């Protein structure tokens, strides 16, 4: 695989992100083995899903950097992220001895957002199912379902912001806030570019 120089810089940047978050994670006392997996898995899982989502609009650029189809890079991060965020509620359920942690709650507006990680998990599963069924559904439906990843990331962020132990660490709070802002900034920027391109084609006709 012929990786260009900028490709190595990008790998270094991603590695530094993981090292930075892991280092900050260990600044908060770990109460138990279950607590470790609950918190550690979701932090790394969120980063993986963030990277999978953030890189989606840059298929061509990533192929040019790594000489590898974008979809493979995307899937590496996606699969790893899904496994890790699934470990999060499983470990927490073991810690508290209650499987009700998998059930979304709608008691009130604030409770919903505090526990928004629960629906986020199912939203991600729906997005994954859309990938599996891509051959059998329309492109428009697939794009809508796959785009649910953006919703899931936002839900996960607010869940961590409101009740997440590690979000009490200012470094992690700032890092993950930058990540969610970048995710949506790239999304809107790419939509804007498509809008301009579509308008230019319309004007030329």
3-state secondary structure of 108: coil
* Residue 184 Cα distances to 85, 166, 179, angstroms: 21, 22, 9
Report whether 47 contacts 179 (CB < 8 A).
Answer: yes
Contacts of 110 (CB under 8 A, 6+ apart): 162
Interatomic CA distance for residues 57 and 190, integer angstroms: 7
Alpha helix ranges (H) inside 97-132? 109-114, 117-132
And the tokens for 4?
Answer: 């260009």
Interatomic CA distance for residues 18 and 41, integer angstroms: 12
Per-residue pLDDT of the chain (205 residues; tens, 9 = 90+): 567 777 788 889 999 999 999 999 999 999 999 999 999 999 999 999 999 888 877 777 777 777 766 667 778 899 999 999 999 999 999 999 999 999 999 999 999 999 999 999 999 999 888 888 888 888 888 888 888 999 999 999 999 999 999 999 999 999 999 999 999 998 898 888 778 877 777 766 6
17, 190, 148: which is closest to 156 by C-alpha?
148
In degrees, rounded to 5, the angle at the alpha carbon of residue 116 between the alpha carbons of residues 110 and 119 is: 135
Q: List, in order of start, the domains of the chain with CATH numbers.
A: 5-204 (1.20.120)
Interatomic CA distance for residues 58 and 130, integer angstroms: 20
pLDDT at 137: 85
CA diameter of the chain: 65
And the tokens for 97?
Answer: 């001895």
93, 106, 82, 91: which is closest to 156 by C-alpha?
82
Q: Is 146 exposed, middle or buried (0-12, 13-18, 19+ CB in 10 A)?
A: middle
Contacts of 98 (CB under 8 A, 6+ apart): none
Interatomic CA distance for residues 117 and 8, integer angstroms: 33
Reported pTM: 0.90
């Amino acid at each position: 695989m012929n990786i260009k120089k900028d490709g190595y810089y990008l790998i270094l940047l991603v590695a530094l992100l993981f090292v930075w978050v892991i280092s900050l994670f260990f600044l908060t006392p770990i109460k138990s083995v279950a607590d470790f997996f609950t918190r550690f898995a979701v932090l790394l899982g969120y980063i993986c899903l963030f990277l999978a989502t953030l890189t989606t609009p840059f298929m061509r650029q990533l192929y040019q950097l790594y000489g590898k189809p974008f979809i493979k890079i995307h899937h590496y991060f996606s699969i790893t992220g899904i496994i890790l965020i699934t470990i999060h509620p499983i470990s927490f359920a073991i810690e508290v001895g209650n499987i009700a942690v998998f059930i979304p709650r709608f008691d009130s507006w604030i409770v919903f957002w505090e526990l928004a990680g629960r629906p986020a998990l199912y939203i991600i599963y729906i997005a994954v199912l859309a990938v599996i069924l891509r051959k059998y559904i329309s492109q428009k439906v697939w794009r809508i379902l796959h785009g649910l990843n953006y919703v899931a990331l936002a839900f996960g962020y607010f869940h961590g912001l409101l009740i997440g132990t590690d979000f009490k660490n200012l470094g992690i709070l700032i890092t993950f806030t930058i990540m969610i802002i970048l995710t949506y900034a790239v999304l809107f920027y790419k939509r804007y570019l498509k809008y301009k391109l579509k308008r230019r084609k319309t004007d030329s006709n």
